[in-house]
Structure 1
Amino acid sequence: MYADEITHTLKNHGNEAAEAKRGQIVITRDDIANYIDYVENPDRQILSQTKQGLKALISGKQKDGYYVVVEEAQTKNNRLAFKTMYKVKGDIKESSLFKATADAENGERLAFSGYEPDAQRIPSLNDPIIPQNSQKVKELPPADLRKAIINAKDDKERLAIIENQKAGIRRNIDTKAIIDASSQSGRDMALIGRENLNGDIVKYVLESKKTIAVDKLDIQRARELKFKYPQDVRRTIGSDAITHVMNRHGANSILVKKSGQKAVSLDDIAKWQEYADNADLRAISKG
């Protein structure tokens, strides 16, 4: 953090009357002092680019309105540097800056010049939603992303981390759009693909109270289980099942706290097919 950026932030967003005219809330020194907490525990986060061609990490945190914090990836100096922050009245879910479908030209602009949200698209059910390097693409949690950028050995590795993060974010956005557009039951359910199921998608299914189809069950296994149409059995997971697992075996469950057994996470649930397909023990039970 540089003194110039603190001065810039307070000059542009530290006047209560001026911010009120913009529909924003004044930024204080205490707000700036707490920015690390907002960027490491954001409610929204996107990657953008400055006019100078530098990558920018933009984080949003809902708290009596919502904060927007901009950090610049200064790869030559091995720094992720604070650039500016401001605070907006209202719900972050309504912010065009952080909306998945925001258009870069019409989206909400940052008060600090040079930053624009990346344009996103809503895919159709026929679009390929798995990138060619899907096994490597992964959206990192905010704290892990910051550490990875800071600890990267050189500029090439830092840029690769940022591009991977952008690809992971876009893949999750595309997957969620497919889920929203899909039927919730039957043969019309869109298959999102096992490669696209991760903890973030499991959390989305839970919070949106949806059911998704991941892929199709192996025909031989479907026959063993006596399905009427074994060639078209979808492997699904819904919010009710996720809720049950987390209530019974999640970190906050009474069973886990009393027994000392390892808690099941959303990332664990996302890997259920892998564990089932490569099980050490398997049995078919009568329902």
Structure 2
Amino acid sequence: MIEYRNGYKMPKIGLGTFRMTDAEQTYDIILKAIETGYRHFDTAQMYGNEEVVGKAIKDSGIKRKDVFITTKLQGHHSPLITRELILESMKKLQVEYLDQLLIHWPNHDNEINVQTWKVFEELYNEGLVKVIGVSNFTRYQLEMLIKDISIPPMSNQVEMHPALSQEPLRAYCEDKGIKITSYGPLMRGLILEEPYYSGLNEIAIKHNSTVGAIAIAWGLSQGVMMIPKTSTDKRLAENLSAKDIKLSNDEITKINAMNTGRRLYSDPSNNIYGKYIK
């Protein structure tokens, strides 16, 4: 578990549900993930699958206190609509509170980010959300936001993998007490290609593991929460096994050296997803 600065705890590994659009398949993989040992599920309004994620968790019979649910607000809106959309997400997920709520993408106008964040603060103070944070915020965007709000973000979910180690951002967030979660840790499959595969596979062989598990273990070893996505039973267990892999400092350094600053997802400074929708 990783502990936020308010004392709330989150499992180190979760299941990402980005692009899980087939309801039946998503339902089945959530149930299988719970059976395998997953206790954190990451969804978003943008994914369009909150309802099926909530139903699967509910139908599994797992106690609410034993599962951690993250969702993200799509776009930016008036305070009233923002609150309504978040309450609607809670209804879809069939929960009385959210473990974690994130701004999915920053707006290019900091005043709009602040307006959205103030609704997050209200929901947090009301106990409807246990952890409030952001996603895809750069250091500059975080600095702009923090200077105008009461409760600094507790987390920042960003693209992070061997080709994009995010070391400067991670150092900044650590100094500010902001926990980092990595999405896309398997690089959309590019970890199976050069110049990444050989180095990762060499480490994987030493640990009797796979390159995917090693990439996840690399993040975990640095205090980063990882939410790999998969739709296969085998990979569920394989990814979860990363929590038991202990990488040496030399191995971590070797993977850090693979960083080229390569993004495989949208650039936060030029994203089209953080629009203000009236």
TM-score, length basis structure 1: 0.26
Larger radius of gyration: 1
Give the TM-score normalised by the residue count of structure 2.
Answer: 0.27
